[in-house]
Amino acid sequence: MVGVEKAIFDGAASFEPSQPDVYGNAHPKDLLRAITEEHEYLLALARSHIASAAQFERPLLLQLFRLAAKYEANPERFATPIKPLSGKLLISAFYEPSTRTRLSFESAWHRLGGDIMSITDRSTTGIAKGESLSDVAEMFNNYGDCVVLRDNREESVMEMMDKLRIPIINAGNGCDEHPTQALADLYTIMKWKPALLAEEPAEKIRIGVVGVPRRMRTVRSLLTLLSRFSGMVEEIVVIHDGADEELYAPGQKENLVREGLRIRESTDLNGELPDLDVVYINAIAWVKDGFEVMGGNLKLNANSPLKKSAIVLHPLARGDELCTSLDNTQHNWYFAQARGAVFMRMALLTCMVQRTEMVMDIV
């Protein structure tokens, strides 16, 4: 015997799925209870474009966390028969390859009962024939109710927004921003410790960010959102390999500091780890036609000197920088982060296409 037949006789393939969900469902109910519904913030999102993390103020973030937690705490409740997005049509336009983010958005939309049209490849599109994004936006106005756009050019989102009469979400524009990833990151932190929602939490946290804020879109958007919760942050340590001449874009650090964040830089990952409560690690920076792996010597594994209570976050997909030996440890919150991203996107999409009223507690 060979192949899967052999594996099955060897007992490797059980008829019962054996893997328990040990790290996925972390505490959305606690987070839900910790926030009071104030739905006017959600209603105000109706027909809004989502281009930048900078658009989100603290009260709106709290309400989005709450709605995401409500979805996550009871995933079946809003599927059949409520289907808040029934009759709504999403244009999922991924001109830069991505399965993870695309499927995360599409899953969110389908879970709410909506329909989807996907573009998964620039080469099969009119853009390959030289069509402008402005004209594509005009076309999208006629075809759907919402657009999710990923493109490797920074200016793509703004070009589309200028012509769209339906809302768009920036799902990553080159090295600029990835606001919904940052929403999911922060949602994970809040699920982990709902007490951090307080204006001035009793215990502040120290966050390590392994990456280059100037060049990594997930890091850029995350730092912006963290500035809305500066009261909970003892310090942010930006950990890098020293290779980049400029760690920050012009004005980037100054803005964050002005918002109340304390930021320090370091090149000594293992030296910093024992003092960090949250470690956010990412190694990919987007460049024109592809990506670049950075900080090759900055790696985490089960033997890294992590604080016992520390959680590790990663936007995924991962490379060598995040060892699978951490997967079965209590530090692994990156899988919970990926899971929560779906519910966070459900929350955002519901509001953008004006179906908030269908999922509010009090109408």
User: Whole-angstrom Cα distance, residue 168 to residue 46?
Assistant: 11
357 part of the interface to its own copies, by CB under 8 A: no
Contact 45, 63 (CB under 8 A): no
For the residues of 161-199, what is the DSSP string, one character each? Answer: HTT-SS-EEEEEETTS--HHHHHHHHHHHHHH-GGGGSS
158 part of the interface to its own copies, by CB under 8 A: yes
Please return the burial class of 14, using the count of CB atoms within 10 Å of its CB with bins 0-12, 13-18 and 19+: exposed
17 part of the interface to its own copies, by CB under 8 A: yes
Binding mask 161-200 for its own copies (x = CB under 8 A): xxxxxxx--x--x--xx-----------------------
Contact 117, 92 (CB under 8 A): yes
Beta bridge partner(s), residue 177: none
125 part of the interface to its own copies, by CB under 8 A: yes
Smaller CB distance to its own copies: residue 260 or 319?
319
Smaller CB distance to its own copies: residue 54 or 302?
54
Q: Which helix (H) or strand (E) holds 239?
A: strand 233-239
25 part of the interface to its own copies, by CB under 8 A: no
Binding residue count for its own copies, defined by CB under 8 A: 103
State in angstroms the smallest separation of the CB of 1 from its own copies. 5
One residue of 36, 129, 200, 202 binding its own copies per CB under 8 A: 129
Smaller CB distance to its own copies: residue 225 or 278?
225
Cis peptide before 317 (omega within 30 of 0): yes
Contact 218, 315 (CB under 8 A): yes
Q: Name the 3-class secondary structure at 146.
A: strand
356 part of the interface to its own copies, by CB under 8 A: no
127 part of the interface to its own copies, by CB under 8 A: yes
Q: Which residues in 197-236 contact its own copies (CB under 8 A)?
A: 220, 224
User: Whole-angstrom Cα distance, residue 222 to residue 201?
Assistant: 20
User: Whole-angstrom Cα distance, residue 105 to residue 229?
Assistant: 26
Q: Which residues in 50-89 contact its own copies (CB under 8 A)?
A: 51-55, 79-80, 86-87, 89
Smaller CB distance to its own copies: residue 222 or 276?
222
User: Whole-angstrom Cα distance, residue 152 to residue 239?
Assistant: 25
361 part of the interface to its own copies, by CB under 8 A: no
Structure tokens at 224: 């912006």
State in angstroms the smallest separation of the CB of 201 from its own copies. 26
119 part of the interface to its own copies, by CB under 8 A: yes
Q: Name the 3-class secondary structure at 215.
A: coil
Stretch that binds its own copies, among 102-110, 230-238, 264-272, 303-311 (CB under 8 A): 102-110
Beta bridge partner(s), residue 312: 279, 332
User: Whole-angstrom Cα distance, residue 259 to residue 53?
Assistant: 14
Structural Rg of the chain based on CA atoms? 21
135 part of the interface to its own copies, by CB under 8 A: yes
Stretch that binds its own copies, among 7-15, 31-39, 63-71, 201-209 (CB under 8 A): 7-15
State in angstroms the smallest separation of the CB of 278 from its own copies. 20
Smaller CB distance to its own copies: residue 84 or 194?
84
Smaller CB distance to its own copies: residue 57 or 268?
57
Q: What is the distance between the terminal CA atoms of the chain, rounded to a whole angstrom?
A: 62
274 part of the interface to its own copies, by CB under 8 A: no
Binding mask 294-313 for its own copies (x = CB under 8 A): --------------------
354 part of the interface to its own copies, by CB under 8 A: no
